[in-house]
Amino acid sequence: SNTHIAVIVGSLRKDSYNRKLATALARLGPPGFTFQQVEIGDLPLYNQDDDAHQAASVLRLKGEIARANGLLFLTPEYNRSIPGVLKNALDHASRPYGQSAWQGKPAGVIGVSVGAIGTAMAQQHLRNVLAYLDVPTLGQPEAFIQAKDGLFDAAGDIGPDSKKFLQTWMDQFAAWVIRHNA
Ligand code: FNR
C-alpha cells in the first residue's frame, strides 16, 4: 500500500533552494511513496487565544499531517536557527494541548543553505523541538547541503556530485518511515 510523506519546507521564497531540494528528493523516493509539500505560508501568527477555534488553514495543516505516514522537513538556516515560519507551523499543529498532529510521526530532517555549515545549527534546533513533540527523527546519515552551482541539474534533479549521497539519504529515510509504520 501507499506510504504518504508530508513535506514541510521552512522557506516561503518562490525560488527557495529548500523547495527545490524537496522536489528533487521526492523523485528519489522508492516505489509506493508519495510526497506532498504542505502549505505553511497561509497560517496566521500563532496565538494561544485561538486554540479553541483554530483557523481553517491550521485545521487543514493538521489534517495533512495526521494523514501522513511520515514527515520530511527541509529547513533553511536563519540566524543559526530555524525560520520563524517553520516554528509557527510546528506550534500551530501542536495545539490544542493533548491534540498535537505531530506525535509519533517518523521524520527526516535535512536542509540547504548558502553558508558553509549547510544548516547544521538550524537542523539541530529543529531536532530539539521535534524531540519534545515525540517525533522520532532519522539520526544517520546527516545531510548538511551547501547551495552551489551544479547542486541541481537543468531538469531540477540532484546534480552528479550529490546524487549518490542523497539517494542513500532517501533510502535510509524511507526505511525509517517503514520501520515506524510496521
Ligand atoms: C540567512 N542565511 C543564512 N545562511 C546560513 O547558512 N546560516 C544563517 O544563519 C543564515 N541566516 C540568515 C538569516 C536570514 C534572515 C536570511 C534571509 C538568510 C542565508 C540562507 O542560507 C539563504 O537565504 C537561503 O537561500 C535560504 O534558504 P531558501 O529560502 O533558499 O530555501
- Give the angle subtended at the CA of 10 by the CAs of 6 and 16, to the nearest 5°: 105
Q: Is 145 in the pocket of ligand 1 (CB under 6 A)?
A: no
Instruction: Tell me the backbone φ, ψ of residue 55, rounded to 5 degrees.
Output: -65, 155
- Sheet architecture: strand order including 70-74: 33-37, 3-9, 70-74, 107-113, 144-146
Q: Is 114 in the pocket of ligand 1 (CB under 6 A)?
A: yes
Q: Could you read off the pLDDT of 58-74 as tens digits, one per residue?
A: 999 999 999 999 999 99
Grid cell locating 84: 520563524
Q: Is 18 in the pocket of ligand 1 (CB under 6 A)?
A: yes
Tell me how far apart the alpha carbons of residues 119 and 135 are, in angstroms, rounded to a whole number: 20
Q: How far is the CA of 61 from the centre of ligand 1 (A)?
A: 25
Is it the case that residue 1 has pLDDT exceeding 90? Answer: no
The rounded percent of the chain whose pLDDT value lies above 70 is 100
What pTM does this model have?
0.98
Q: Is 79 in the pocket of ligand 1 (CB under 6 A)?
A: yes
Is residue 44 within 8 Å of residue 52, measured between CB atoms? no
Q: Is 115 in the pocket of ligand 1 (CB under 6 A)?
A: yes
The domain ranges of the chain are 3-180
Q: Is 164 in the pocket of ligand 1 (CB under 6 A)?
A: no
Q: Is 17 in the pocket of ligand 1 (CB under 6 A)?
A: yes
Tell me how far apart the alpha carbons of residues 70 and 160 are, in angstroms, rounded to a whole number: 27
Q: How far is the CA of 118 from the centre of ligand 1 (A)?
A: 10
Which one, of 32, 12, 29, lies nearest residue 72 by Cα? 29
Is residue 144 within 8 Å of residue 123, measured between CB atoms? yes
Grid cell locating 56: 481553517
Is it the case that residue 131 has pLDDT exceeding 80? Answer: yes
Quick one: which H or E segment has residue 145?
Answer: strand 144-146
Question: Which atom from ligand 1 is nearest to the alpha carbon of 76?
Answer: 27
Question: Which atom from ligand 1 is nearest to the alpha carbon of 20?
Answer: 31
Beta-carbon neighbour count of residue 53 at 10 Å? 8
Mutate to test the pocket of ligand 1, among 78, 126, 146, 148 (most ligand atoms within 8 A of CB): 78
Report the CATH superfamily, name and number, of domain 3-180: Flavodoxin domain (3.40.50.360)
Q: Which amino acid is at 29?
A: G
pLDDT of residue 79: 97
Reported ipTM exceeds the 0.95 cut:
yes
- Provide CB contacts within 8 A for 119, sequence distance 6+: 75, 76, 77, 111, 112, 113, 144, 145
Average pLDDT over residues 102-124: 97
